[in-house]
Structure 1
Amino acid sequence: MLVQAIEQQTPRLRLVSADEFEKMARLGIFGHEERLELVDGAIIEMSPQGPLHAALVRLVTKILTAAFAQFEVFTDRPVSLEERSQPSPDVCVVRGELKDYLERHPRPEDLLLVVEVADSSLGFDLGAKAAAYARAGVPTYWVLDVQGRTLHVHEEARSDGTWQSIRVLSGLDNTGLPHITVNDLTMP
């Protein structure tokens, strides 16, 4: 009896660039109702927004719009990070004016703050997304944990995809913005 060793190989993924991702979208390869984003070359299907998630995104947007009156605050808009990453954060605060973003997405140097509201996506938002934002040099990244009613504040990005400072705040803890606590962001 002849026994052959079968070599196990992990299948290789075909990763796409942000340019390829945008071209596929323009060509109609994705459905209009699909909520997709590109992280590290992988096309990620985003979870549908439930009522609480949508309400918290709106609340955070209102609070940040008031706190950053001299900047633009975008909701669910793609940002161009690296060649293979174009996530769509729930909320982001950017330098400049709306007219600056008519022909391009915000880039890392435009971003002041990126916020993800995490209901079912906490692990991904604290893992792969946090690393992508850090590698791109985003200065501040917040993850609002809906279930835990906590705010993960990432600051001082490192090029290796880690953060110098990560704080987990809750309740009356101040977010680092004047007069804004975690409770203000999570609703009663």
Structure 2
Amino acid sequence: MTRYPFSLEDFHRLAEAGILPEDARVELVEGEIVTMSPIGKKHAYVLNTLVDLLSPLRGRAVLSVQNPLVLGPATEVYPDLALLRPPRTRYRDRLPEGGDVLLLVEVAETSLDYDLNVKTPLYAKAGVPEVWVVDLV
């Protein structure tokens, strides 16, 4: 089987051209486009609870929910929640990167193995200082 690696620029072009629909649940992981698990009721409830709990930090951190995070030239993921270095305006013209993250949270209902063994090492490599994985099982 032949694989064709994608760069971050390729990934964005695919989305801009409509090849990847705007609502597609995909990430770019080390040059490969990977389908993300659907969000279930329990996942959504826990994520909303985390947002409520962490929202008092607004002003001291930028609360980013399921938004893109660049981890390298061929990796863009969508963590469930990230607390980013302020001010918010620093992300007006660029996407946040690993070094911008203060805390990152993944909520895992069916994705625990993937979150722990694929994504967490990518976060560490990109300089994310703190990662929490909430195991819903």
TM tier, smaller: over 0.9
User: How many residues are paired up?
Assistant: 137
Residue 85 of structure 1 is matched in structure 2 by 75
Return the match for 2:43 from 41, 47, 53: 53
TM-score by length of 2: 0.93
Question: Which region of structure 1 is more displaced relative to structure 2, 87-96 or 13-22?
Answer: 13-22
Query: How much is the aligned-residue C-alpha RMSD, in angstroms?
Result: 1.3
**Does residue 117 of structure 1 match 2:118?**
no
Return the match for 1:75 from 56, 65, 69: 65
Q: Which has the higher helix share?
A: 2
Instruction: Structure 1: give runs of 5+ residues left out of the alignment.
Output: 1-10, 148-188
TM-score by length of 1: 0.69
The Cα shift of 1:42 comes to: 1.2
Residues 65 and 72 of structure 1 are in contact (CA less than 8 Å); yes or no, is this contact kept in structure 2? no
Distance 2:27 2:6 in 1: 11
Residue 63 of structure 1 is matched in structure 2 by 53
Runs of 4 or more consecutive aligned structure 1 residues displaced over 4 Å after TM superposition: none
**Does residue 102 of structure 1 match 2:105?**
no
CA 126–139 in structure 1, closer or farther in 2 if over 3 Å, else same: same
The structure with more radius of gyration: 1
Amino acid at match of 1:135: K
**Does residue 138 of structure 1 match 2:128?**
yes
Instruction: Structure 2: give runs of 5+ residues left out of the alignment.
Output: none
Distance 1:69 1:96 in 2: 7
Amino acid at match of 2:102: L
